[in-house]
């Protein structure tokens, strides 16, 4: 397991676009996110291809991977953040030089489609990566105090222990378990199934969120996880904010569907609204041992995730 160095004021954050293209109308919002980082005391460096457009992606798969490789190999860059998600992050995986990442471990953070990269990085290089706000959507739209405090707390002040709460956490299925934290966006996580980039989920705590799904989509995706043996391996599940379901109070929500599908398994399930789309986000370290206690409604980070 490779633990990256913590950020400190004056450090340079490299900004990459591994998935969706930055359309013209969103450039102002991206600049707002960059300004936010600068106001926190960091320098920024925009990737060479970060603003390119290749159909619906930010450049070709090779160009997007080149930016990632270059940011890891550039000694002047201290951490790497993604501009946004999208749908095509997995296409750049074959072009990433995992040996460069292993030799130059750095904070790498993103959300949504970046789930594919976060889990692949842990699988292929053993680097602890971070599920947290991106530059354009997370930090470019008036981030909350919770967003700011979680970013600084985890990545600068090296905070571990109990994860801070911004919402009411709810027991779905009681119990407690320890395991390696892995997961992210459900759809994007599933892009890795059957590939060399899919992580070993043995003794893991799986965290999942989703963007505007229909209940039946949650049904078939969670059923696919069951059929591929995922729930045979995990020790617990943490469900985040399900945008489009939770904010409409739809009865067939992710926790009820997951509880039904995994009824024959005996692992704890906990629900919160502190990571996901269109909500305040904590920073979750993939590859780190955590304790999920669904009885006391807590997630505890048990190991240092930055050094």
The full set of domains in the chain, from first to last, is 12-155 (3.40.50.10740), 161-301 (3.50.30.60)
Is residue 228 predicted with pLDDT exceeding 90? yes
Q: 3-state class of 104 per DSSP? A: coil
d(CA 26, CA 81): 17
Q: Are 140 and 29 in contact (CB under 8 A)?
A: yes
Q: Are 176 and 199 in contact (CB under 8 A)?
A: no
Average pLDDT over residues 68-95: 98
Is residue 211 predicted with pLDDT exceeding 90? yes
Average pLDDT over residues 228-254: 96
The alpha carbon of 266 is separated from its chain's Cα centroid by a whole number of angstroms, namely 26
User: What pTM, to 2 d.p., does this model score?
Assistant: 0.97
Determine the pLDDT at residue 249: 85
Q: If you average pLDDT over every residue of the chain, what do you get?
A: 98
pLDDT digits (tens, 9 = 90+) for 274-283: 999 999 999 9
Is residue 260 predicted with pLDDT exceeding 90? yes
- First-to-last alpha carbon distance for the chain, in angstroms, is 12
């Amino acid at each position: 397991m490779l633990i990256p160095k913590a950020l400190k004021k004056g450090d340079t954050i490299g900004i990459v676009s591994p998935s969706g293209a930055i359309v013209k109308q969103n450039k102002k919002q991206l600049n707002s996110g960059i300004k936010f980082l600068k106001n926190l005391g960091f320098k920024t460096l925009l990737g060479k291809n970060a603003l390119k457009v290749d159909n619906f992606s930010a450049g070709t798969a090779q160009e997007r991977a080149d930016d990632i490789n270059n940011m890891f190999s550039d000694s002047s860059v201290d951490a790497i953040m993604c501009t946004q998600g999208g749908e095509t992050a997995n296409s750049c995986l074959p072009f990433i030089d995992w040996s460069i990442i292993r030799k130059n471990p750095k904070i790498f953070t993103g959300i949504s489609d970046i789930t594919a990269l976060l889990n692949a990085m842990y699988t292929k290089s053993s680097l602890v990566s971070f599920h947290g706000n991106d530059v354009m959507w997370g930090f470019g739209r008036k981030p909350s105090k919770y967003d700011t405090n979680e970013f600084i707390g985890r990545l600068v002040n090296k905070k571990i222990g109990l994860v801070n709460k911004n919402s009411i956490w709810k027991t779905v299925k009681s119990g407690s378990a320890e395991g390696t934290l892995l997961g992210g966006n459900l759809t994007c996580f599933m892009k890795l199934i059957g590939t060399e980039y899919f992580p070993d989920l043995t003794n893991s705590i799986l965290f999942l969120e989703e963007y505007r799904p229909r209940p039946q989509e949650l049904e078939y995706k969670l059923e696919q996880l069951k059929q591929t043996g995922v729930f045979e391996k995990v020790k617990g599940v943490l469900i985040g904010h399900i945008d489009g379901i939770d904010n409409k109070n739809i009865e067939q929500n992710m926790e009820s569907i997951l509880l039904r599908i995994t009824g024959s398994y005996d692992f704890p399930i906990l629900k919160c609204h502190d990571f996901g789309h269109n909500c305040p986000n904590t920073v979750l370290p993939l590859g780190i041992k955590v304790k999920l206690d669904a009885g006391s409604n807590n997630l505890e980070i048990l190991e240092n995730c930055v050094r």
